[in-house]
């Protein structure tokens, strides 16, 4: 830890954010541009602000600080929570949380938050809206099925549901088209390479690029797998604890779900993935465990082709060919 750095612990909510500075003093500001400007008066070039990822509430402040040239770290809430639990604190207030976040900042290795470009932010927003529309469409389909099961469905109800379904599907098609165009404009070469992997199609390739920031936020395949929550947790301690290994599930759930859906196709058409699947199943392990291993392999393949800008070679499991 650099002793010259002034750490500021920030606990942020919808309307306000609480701050504990390096001197231990507590401040509270409104979570709006006016509050950001007042807070900035406490900061200088040696300041480092640390906050939790709290849904959407932290974004405006984090971007304001970043644009002002202040170092920012946005930490995993679970890591901060466990640190607070270790302190055995019996007080749970915004003020106490900001103080403990400040202590957390002084004792752990922080990673600087870089934010997203406007293009990346727009892609993420479109991806999230597509998720909402997909769920709505599924709900409508289930409702239509339920009405049919009744045996005498109302024409007015069925017509309304079909109109809603048609409208949502039209909006989804427009969004998918816009998302594809945006990704192609920024990551055409990466998309071409990722799509060359058997088991990954255009839609999956687009979502992989959106969820990983074009693979630019990661320096290694293991770091990316950890982000997706596909790294194993080993539970062995002495002679009494010998639990089964399982994946952490502490990463991006959307990315993990996307890869799991792709794994079924990859087992059929991706030679390297099929080899891993067959080997694990032959050992008597569950098929689900084998599919998770396939997800891991797919993600590593995608990372390799994205970083090398080389297409996947279907004929040889580790060789890539130039575009």
Structure-derived torsion over alpha carbons of residues 101, 17, 41, 56, reported in degrees to the nearest 10 = 90
For the chain, what percent of residues have pLDDT higher than 70? 88
Q: What is the pLDDT of residue 316?
A: 53
Segment holding 169, helix H or strand E: helix 155-195
The set of residues, in sequence order, having a beta carbon less than 8 Å from that of 286 and lying 6+ positions away, is none
Q: Give the separation between CA 312 and CA 314, rounded to whole angstroms.
A: 6
Q: Give the model confidence (pLDDT) of 136-164 as tens digits.
A: 999 999 999 998 887 788 899 999 999 99
Q: Give the separation between CA 225 and CA 218, rounded to whole angstroms.
A: 10
**What's the pTM value of the predicted model, to 2 decimals?**
0.74
Lookup: tokens for 37: 């400007």
Query: How many angstroms from the chain centroid is the CA of residue 177?
Result: 22
Predicted confidence band of residue 267 (pLDDT cuts 50, 70, 90):
very high
Q: What is the pLDDT of residue 275?
A: 94
Give the helix, strand, coil percentages of the chain, each rounded to 5: 55, 15, 30
Q: Is 232's pLDDT higher than 80?
A: no
Q: Give the separation between CA 284 and CA 282, rounded to whole angstroms.
A: 5
Q: Give the model confidence (pLDDT) of 275-321 as tens digits.
A: 999 999 999 999 999 999 999 999 999 999 999 999 997 765 444 54
Q: What is the pLDDT of residue 241?
A: 41
Residue with tokens 């999230």: 128
Q: What is the chain's mean pLDDT, rounded?
A: 86
Q: What is the pLDDT of residue 115?
A: 83
Handedness of CA 55, 39, 20, 73 (dihedral sign): positive
What is the CB neighbour count within 10 angstroms for residue 204?
A: 20
Q: Which residue has the higher pLDDT, 20 or 90?
A: 20
Predicted confidence band of residue 254 (pLDDT cuts 50, 70, 90):
confident
| DSSP 8-class letter at 192 | H
Crossing angle (nearest 10°) for helices 155-195 and 287-308: 60
| DSSP 8-class letter at 139 | H
Q: Give the model confidence (pLDDT) of 189-217 as tens digits.
A: 999 999 999 999 999 999 999 999 899 88
3 state SS of 229 = coil
Q: Give the model confidence (pLDDT) of 24-56 as tens digits.
A: 999 999 999 999 999 999 999 899 999 998 778
Q: Is 184's pLDDT higher than 60?
A: yes
Predicted confidence band of residue 91 (pLDDT cuts 50, 70, 90):
low
């Amino acid at each position: 830890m650099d002793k010259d750095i002034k750490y500021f612990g920030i606990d942020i909510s919808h309307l306000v954010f609480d701050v504990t500075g390096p001197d231990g003093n507590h401040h509270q500001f409104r979570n709006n541009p006016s509050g950001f400007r007042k807070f900035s008066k406490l900061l200088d070039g040696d300041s480092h602000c640390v906050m939790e990822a709290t849904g959407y509430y932290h974004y405006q402040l984090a971007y304001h600080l970043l644009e002002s040239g202040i170092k920012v770290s946005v930490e995993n809430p679970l890591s901060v929570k466990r640190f607070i639990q270790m302190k055995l604190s019996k007080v749970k207030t915004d003020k106490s949380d900001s103080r403990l976040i400040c202590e957390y900042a002084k004792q752990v290795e922080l990673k600087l938050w870089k934010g997203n470009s406007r293009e990346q932010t727009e892609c993420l927003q479109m991806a999230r809206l597509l998720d909402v529309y997909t769920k709505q469409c599924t709900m409508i389909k289930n409702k239509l099925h339920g009405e049919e099961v009744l045996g005498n469905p109302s024409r007015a109800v069925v017509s309304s549901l079909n109109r809603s379904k048609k409208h949502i599907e039209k909006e989804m098609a427009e969004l998918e088209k816009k998302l594809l165009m945006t990704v192609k404009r920024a990551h055409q070469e990466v998309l071409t390479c990722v799509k060359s992997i058997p088991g990954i199609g255009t839609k999956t390739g687009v979502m992989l690029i959106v969820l990983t920031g074009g693979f630019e936020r990661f320096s290694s395949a293991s770091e990316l797998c950890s982000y997706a929550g596909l790294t194993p947790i080993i539970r062995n301690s002495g002679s009494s604890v010998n639990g089964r290994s399982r994946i952490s599930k502490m990463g991006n759930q959307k990315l993990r779900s996307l890869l799991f859906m792709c794994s079924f196709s990859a087992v059929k058409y991706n030679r390297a993935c099929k080899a891993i699947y067959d080997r694990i199943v032959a050992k008597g392990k569950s098929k689900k465990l084998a599919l998770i291993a396939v997800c891991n392999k797919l993600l590593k393949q995608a990372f390799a082709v994205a970083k090398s800008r080389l297409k996947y070679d279907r004929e040889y499991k580790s060789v890539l060919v130039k575009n």
